[in-house]
Copies of this chain bind each other. A is one copy, B any other.
Amino acid sequence: MKKLNTSPISGMQELLPAKQAIFNNLKNKIAEVYHRHGYLDIETPSIERTEILLAKAGGDTEKQIYKVNKTAESADCADQALRFDHTVPLARYVVEHENDLAFPFKVSQIGLSFRGERAQKGRFREFYQCDIDIIGRQNLPIAYDADILATLISTYNSFEIKTPIIARINNRKITTGLLNFLNLSEKSADIYSIIDHAEKIPVEKTNEALLEIGLNEDDVKKILAFINLHGERSFVVKNLSNLAVTDETFLAGVAELDQVMYLLESMGLSENISADMKIVRGLDYYTGTVFEFFLPEYREIGSMGGGGRYENLTGYFTEQKFPGVGGSIGLTRLFYVLNECGLLPDASDKTIDYAIVPISENEYDYAFNVASKLQAKGSSTTIVLTDKKLGDKITYAAKLAKYGIVIGESEAKSSHLTVKDFDTGKTSDLDLDA
């Protein structure tokens, strides 16, 4: 026999059952909260035509894309690839099914995406992305941005992780408007890029970088003061007003930020939000609200997801305009990070409630019967059917389940059952008809 490598391909998540149960639990919570907030779930195919996936993308995306080919050459499978995110497939979906959807279309997508990145710790080539988006036809009021944020914050809070999460929120109109006002629009791409990196480097380096692209010291000072502005809504809005910027885009951005954060406050989420002028998000298709999630007590691990407002989802597929706002939780990375930081629930918590241990084959029928009844009541129940010694069967049962029920001749006859709690060793009677 040829010895084959049985490890999973590097950059792919593969978990043992106990960890998988925790992962599934987070995934189910995401689905549940998204649904509870009125998002309609869809699932597009994992494989799309390459021309669709690359209609907009370029550079890195094209390099990271996984193309698929049938081994037997066939013309109808040429030029297909695995999706690298949910945004492009969503754009295609909206254009394709426009007439069957009610707009604004509140939509969720939970599924795998694929990127052939260089494998490294904490980066995955196959990963779950859990997106929500709200797509309007022609226009989409700003209050929907609060809807997206409220849903994502509620989702994180549902995880019951013992460290709080903060959404750092900005509006790109504010930054754009300020740069207009300072006559720096021509350099805005460079400045955005510098702001985007400002968090990870000392302020002197940012200062240097801004001088290097030709800004004068006065403007640099203004920009540094501006991007340092963060905190509670009323505080930040007041300070922004104090800048006395008259640019209309700036003022519109401040008003939008104010409204979005006010609505989140009215939902009791003040503790989970912070205005922050350093958040711009690199992706150039965001045009208004932008946000990223952080664990303030674990700042070093960086962003835990984010999103924002975009002017047009479908620009590459149709002349019609579909503005939207959306956000995403990168579940596979999030799970990896929470695990590394020891923030996940204990993986030794067993997910099976009862293990039924018939002593001999004579009790199998009764054991199956008891199991059916417990299962019908919603308890996860397994039956130990190995032909081993009773002690070995009980050891196996105790590895899997919280409670054990041994069934011998007398139990099968009398229908009297004793349940043993494997953790405490305590026993109690079980009345199946109760």
Contacts and interface: CB of A to CB of B under 8 A. Distances in A.
Given A4-B317, A268-B372, A381 B46 contact: no
A106 interface: yes
Interface string A1-18: 100111111101111110
Contact of A8 (B44, B107, B352): B44
Nearest to A45: B12
B379 A102 contact: no
B263 A365 contact: yes
Contacts of A119: 76
Contacts of A341: none
B51 A4 contact: yes
Interface stretch (A92-100, A238-246, A288-296, A420-428): A92-100
Interface in A105-120: 106-107, 112, 114, 116, 119
Interface in A245-277: 262-263, 266-268
A352 B37 CA distance: 9
A46 B365 contact: no
Contacts of A150: 368, 372
A24 interface: yes
Contact of A6 (B154, B317, B355): B317
Contacts of A69: 66-69
A96 B401 CA distance: 24
A42 interface: yes
A55 interface: yes
A83 to B, nearest CB: 11
Interface stretch (A57-65, A168-176, A198-206, A211-219): A57-65
Contacts of A36: 375, 378-381
Given A43-B15, A45-B14, A147 B383 contact: yes
A422 to B, nearest CB: 13
Main secondary structure of the interface of A (DSSP, over half): mixed
B369 A266 contact: yes
A16 B284 CA distance: 30
Contacts of A267: 368-369, 371-372
A52 interface: yes
A162 to B, nearest CB: 21
Interface of A: 1, 4-10, 12-17, 20-21, 23-24, 31, 35-38, 40-49, 51-52, 55, 62-72, 74, 76-77, 80-82, 92-93, 95-97, 100-102, 104, 106-107, 112, 114, 116, 119, 125-126, 136, 141, 143-144, 146-147, 150, 154, 262-263, 266-268, 316-319, 351-352, 355, 361, 364-366, 368-369, 371-372, 375, 378-383, 385-387, 396, 399-401
Report, nearest first, the 7 A-B pairs whose CB atoms are least far apart. A38-B382, A12-B45, A17-B40, A266-B365, A70-B116, A143-B385, A63-B72
